[in-house]
Structure 1
């Protein structure tokens, strides 16, 4: 057990400050409990929304109405090659290209990666004489 020495400060602490701290800790515990209740409710609500959404998508798929938009392809953008060349020359930023093509930066990064793979495949076929 911790022993406290009797000092003027120690008496003041135990007589005045400790009860106040205990009350504040109780209030904090109540606040944490209330937040926990809200979080549980919010998580349950989100789970119910996800469940209903999944059920709706499943019904739409069975009815043949839900197909999604699929992954973006280089061929979907007629100006891609033009902007690709500008990017190679550092005349334009990736953000600007994404805005011009009306896509997100991560989508642009996927398309650029796809383009580089195509270049490697083309150069490999060229060096192998499979042109």
Structure 2
């Protein structure tokens, strides 16, 4: 079981009427019409967003790399709870300068509530620019 820090959204631990949960789910649903090709979900957390995108966009996407999260426990949880054939979860540091070479190019990058958790925001922004 992963630690519930209060920052992490774990849908199965929340009531369906929880406003924070609704807000987080809405972000992914809002992104659906803008999502195509290869998709990267930075700081995916427990993986529910990658699953939403894989299910809702399955006809317009090639794959989702939803596993760019630095926490190995979160990635393990995502693989166990939010598996989809179009989603891949992996441990990565979003400030790794080699990340674009490791993961390849993407058509769409999703990143919700990421930057405030990163010590080196400038490096993160440089990586985004390289995509």
TM-score (norm 1): 0.20
**Bigger CA radius of gyration:** 1
TM-score (norm 2): 0.20
Which structure would you say has the larger RCO, counting Cα contacts within 8 Å and 6 or more residues apart? 2
More helix by share: 1
More strand by share: 2
